[in-house]
Amino acid sequence: MGGKTDVWQGTLALMVLRTLETMGSLHGYGLARRIEQTSGDLLELNYGTLYPALLKLEQEGYIRSKWGVSENNRRAKYYELTKAGHLQVKKAAEDWEQATAILARFLSPAEEA
Amino acid sequence: MRAMRAMWMRLRGLASGRRSDGEFDAEIAAHIALHTDDGVRAGLSEAKARRRALIRLGGVEQTRQAQRERRTLPWLETFLQDVRFGARVLVKSPGFTVTAALTLALGIGATTAIYSVVKAVLLAPLPYKDPGSLVAVWTANPARGDQPLPSTPGDFAVWKQRSGVFEDLAPSYDSEVTLTGQGSPQFLLGYAVSANFLRILGVAPQLGRLYTDQDDAAGGAKVALLSDHLWRTRFGADAGIVGRAITLDGNSYTVLGVMPRAFNYPANVEIWTPSAMAPSASEDFDNSYVRTLGRLRPGVSIVQAQRTLNALETQVAAAHAKTDSGNRVMLVPLREQLDGDIRKPLLILMGAVVFVLLIACANTAGLALARNAERQKEIAVRMALGATRPRLLRQFATESVLLAALGGAAGMALAAAGTHTLLGLFPNDVANLNIPQVTQIPIDRGVLLFAFAITMLTTFLFATVPVLNAMRTGTGSAMKQSVRGGTASRWSSRSRSEIVICEVSLSLILLTAAGLLVASFQRVVSAGLGFNPDRVLSLEVFLPRDRYPSEDGAKRRLFVAETLRRLNALPGVKSAAATNFLPLSGFWGTTGFLLRGQATPKNGEAPEADNRIITPEYLSTMEIPVLRGRGFTDADREGSLHVALINETMAKTYFKDKDPVGEALNLGSAEKPDWWQIAGVTGDVKAFGQDQPTHADIYRPFDQIPFPLIAFTIRTANDAGAMTRTAEQAMWNIDPVLPVMKAITMNLLTAQTLAVRRASSTLIASFAALALVLACVGIYGVMAYAVSRRTREIGVRMALGAKRADVLRMMLGAGFRLAAIGIAIGLAGALAASRLLTSMMFEMSAFNPAIFALAAAVLGTTAVLASYLPARRAASVDPMQALRTE
């Protein structure tokens, strides 16, 4: 994969939610591009995997979708956060921060033995 | 919460399958278009940009698949697919489906219904403390028909003090009373029981308290305990009833408490009073009226106790030869005592229904086996096309489940209807049968599940065996075998034969048992009662001691004479009469007697006869014939010569060839004779039911011995039942406060007497018919399958010169051989089973060659008929056609 990283299990949902939170409403392709850009092109997303993830979030009621028209006049399905989605971003972000903080303690060089 | 919502959305996704597919295709198309646009903008050619977009997506079809799996529940979708497919397969062969489902339904329904009844009646826990060690103790004596009868207080006292096998032993005796001052007067079934009687049962009143040993002492307080039923119906469930005074037989009693609703021992008793046995009663070895309840010591078995008591009774008999000689003590577990007449028929029905279940299992097994063996080719093709084994197995399992679900649902409905019908087995107001009270029968879920599971398991097992078989032999050979169409595989043909043999033998056992029971029932019904029950109404009353004391015979005579006069005057009444113990009512009493010149026997074996007291018109009203001499007339009254009639049984037993008319009977003792001259001989009356032995009867005129228990019998011109109110009113004109114990037509009473016998013979006959039909279907299925498997072989045989008759004979012979083996096994089983039926036979032996032969013939014919159709089809095979098939 040459310097690019696969998406870790379970993190894609958080990325989607967070991206939708900052960008408002996006279609699937736009969302995928945006996630890659945000990662500084370090992530290489298999675009096909995005759609089941979106469907799962929609089934869980965190996002909703409706058909709209893109800037270059293509009909596309747009996704946006629901109220529950907004809450979930906050909660998931906190969980994630806590998890990384814990992991960071293990990975930082041992100061006192 | 969220997971639930997601699950729900996915379930909804199942329903909106196609529409969502289209929508997602549009979304993917948009994605690719947008991505391509970007590529073109970056300077790529349209085609190249599109190609890149597709690669980055990871393939349209893969994406679609991933999306679909997420949208719905894949396992559920497969399952639904299987169900749809299974349903289609089942609908395509309605013959198989209906037969198999019906078979399952009948097996499940019948088993569940009967077992539910058995459980409600025989297995329901008794509401008493440690009921396993409770026994009823009776005295039997060959001179008194060897039946369990009440004992004397003297015997009771000896057992209690000296036997050592009882933790406690308590006396009781029946004590009917009339309750007055509480609305209309009511006759109550009462029981005088000792204080420890209730302690032995371990019951506590729901209100108030039980009485103490002091209350129970001779001359103790007049106190009473009410049944829940009496408390509710007569006292409006008055919570303040305890301590109130009520009037029983004109005496004031204090209500001590109310017993719980579940307490019903002895059955139907409404009021319990202290037995108040006098200490002097322990010297009384003459009067048998004590009904004894005991609790065995821990560790003492009923057999041990019985042995100890009988050894003791032998000693007592030595000291009291006159009364106790020949006595045998009988211990009956309380459970059996309560189950009474219904226990045996129910157990036999339970056995019969297990057979039906087994036959049903065998039948569906055979059907499923035959059917799925036909599908080996289908299996092979599907495996060749890439179906995995688990996937195939799952599909066949789904089919079985579907079938079982169909059968199970129908079976459940059948069980519900069945228990409802079976409730009719328990007419709760039948005094002449000893059966427990059951007012509702809940369907037992355990057995429903069991029956369902066992039938489903057999279906499933036999449905999957051919599938597994096909899988093991592998794709190629299964296809080849099927195409070549040789003879059936040895395994499946052997198991099919075994199934047929099983069915035939089980059916034969059932058929024989049914034949025996039905033949017995027919004999009972046609045995005749000795009187004509058509259009006869009976009214039973009991003259209360306080208003009709035994010293005042005139008052009793006046009441009966006046009532009869009023009844006879009613329009629609042909004649009216009275007796003491109404035939079939369950009430009876006996009197000892001596013939002229006969000394009092040294042992207690003074002959006894049933004590029957009648008014002159009784014999003509009931249409009981006078065989010799004369009946009673109005001239046989108080003060005139004491006369009696005897029945034929008594005349034959005690007078042999001598003419009894003009002879005399001593109904007193040798020292104090009480002579009654025999005026005539009457026909026998089956006073205890057609299937019970006739006792010796002595009839005496009511006028000469005015007995307080009176049953008016009224023969009417039309519907006897419709006369009930009018007849009661006529009697109440004479005594407005006399309660009617029971008003019932003699026809209804007769029907009730036969209820258990009728129900059990009807049920077992229907089970046998069911078994026969199932066996017929099973044999037909297996034979038809064998023919279809051997079509090619038959073609070859015929091509080589076999005639149609040969083929027919060969196929019929195959069916007959199986039936013959089944019949041989079945006859052996039937012989064993018939021994269990001996006690239910009436005037015939359980080993009845005619019925055995008939059952075997019916079954043999059925088996041959069932294989005839397939055999004929085999014989009509066109050899060229047969060789070309497949």
Q: B62: which chain A residues are within 8 Å (Cβ-Cβ)?
A: 48
**In a 3-state reduction of DSSP, which class is residue B742?**
strand
Chain A residue with minimal CA distance to B5? A60
- Chain A: nearest CA to B387, how far in angstroms? 27
Q: Do B30 and A74 touch (CB under 8 A)?
A: yes
Cβ within 8 Å of A, B 60-89: 62-63, 66-67, 69-71
- The verdict on whether omega for the bond into residue B266 sits within 30 degrees of 0, i.e. cis, is yes
Question: DSSP code of B119?
Answer: I
Chain B residue with minimal CA distance to A45? B56
Question: DSSP code of B703?
Answer: T
Instruction: Give the model's pLDDT for residue B428.
Output: 54
Nearest Cα to Cα of residue B711 among B302, B187, B262, B360: B187
Is A46 touching B (CB cutoff 8 A)? yes
Instruction: Give the model's pLDDT for residue B425.
Output: 64
- Chain A: nearest CA to B83, how far in angstroms? 26
Average pLDDT over residues A26-46: 86
Task: Please give the structure tokens belonging to residue B162.
Answer: 């000296």
CA distance B274 to B254: 12
3-class SS letters over chain A = CCCCECCCCCHHHHHHHHHHHHHCCEEHHHHHHHHHHHCCCCECCCHHHHHHHHHHHHHCCCEEEEEEECCCCCEEEEEEECHHHHHHHHHHHHHHHHHHHHHHHHHCCCCCC
Strands B328-333 and B626-629: unpaired
CA distance B840 to B848: 14
Instruction: Give the model's pLDDT for residue B127.
Output: 78
Nearest Cα to Cα of residue B418 among B99, B106, B757, B774: B106
Instruction: Give the model's pLDDT for residue A46.
Output: 81
- Chain B: nearest CA to A72, how far in angstroms? 8
Nearest Cα to Cα of residue B108 among B389, B413, B435, B425: B413
Each residue of B552-590: pLDDT tens digit?
Answer: 899 999 999 999 999 999 999 999 999 999 998 877 777
Nearest Cα to Cα of residue B285 among B325, B328, B330, B329: B325
Q: A30: which chain B residues are within 8 Å (Cβ-Cβ)?
A: 34
Cβ within 8 Å of A, B 36-55: 37-38
Query: Sign of torsion, CA B702 B704 B705 B706?
Result: positive
CA distance B216 to B193: 9
Question: DSSP code of B844?
Answer: S
Dihedral angle computed from the Cα positions of residues B162, B163, B167 and B168, in that order, rounded to the nearest 10 degrees: -60
Q: Which of B5, B66, B71 sits opposite A60 (nearest CB)?
A: B5
Residues of chain B short of pLDDT 50, as ranges, are 431, 478, 482-488
Nearest Cα to Cα of residue B603 among B139, B143, B287: B143
Instruction: Give the model's pLDDT for residue B338.
Output: 76
pLDDT reading at A113 higher than 50 = no
CB pairs under 8 A between A and B: 72
CA distance B608 to B605: 8
**In a 3-state reduction of DSSP, which class is residue B288?**
coil
Q: A60: which chain B residues are within 8 Å (Cβ-Cβ)?
A: 2-3, 5-6
Q: What is this structure's pTM? A: 0.66
End-to-end CA distance of chain B: 57
Instruction: Give the model's pLDDT for residue B560.
Output: 96
Is A59 touching B (CB cutoff 8 A)? yes
Question: Which residues lie across from B643 on neighbouring strands?
Answer: B677
Q: Which of B9, B30, B59 sits opposite A48 (nearest CB)?
A: B59
Instruction: Give the model's pLDDT for residue A81.
Output: 92
Instruction: Give the model's pLDDT for residue A3.
Output: 45
Distance of CA B795 to the CA centre of its chain: 53
Residue to test with chain A: of B8, B27, B40, B61, most A Cβ within 10 A: B27
Those residues with Cβ within 8 angstroms of residue B393's Cβ, 6 or more apart along the chain or in another chain: B464, B467, B468
Dihedral angle computed from the Cα positions of residues B766, B771, B773 and B776, in that order, rounded to the nearest 10 degrees: -160
Query: Above 0.95 for ipTM, yes or no?
Result: no
Q: B3: which chain A residues are within 8 Å (Cβ-Cβ)?
A: 60
Q: Do A72 and B9 touch (CB under 8 A)?
A: no
Burial class (CB in 10 A: 0-12, 13-18, 19+), B313: buried
Q: Per-residue confidence at A6, pLDDT binned at 50, 70, 90?
A: low
- Listing DSSP states for B5-58 in one string gives HHHHHHHHHHHTHHHHHHHHHHHHHHHHHHHHHHHHHTT--HHHHHHHHHHHHT
Q: Which of B2, B27, B57 sits opposite A60 (nearest CB)?
A: B2
Task: Please give the structure tokens belonging to residue B626.
Answer: 């006078």
Q: B59: which chain A residues are within 8 Å (Cβ-Cβ)?
A: 48
Query: Sign of torsion, CA B50 B53 B59 B60?
Result: negative
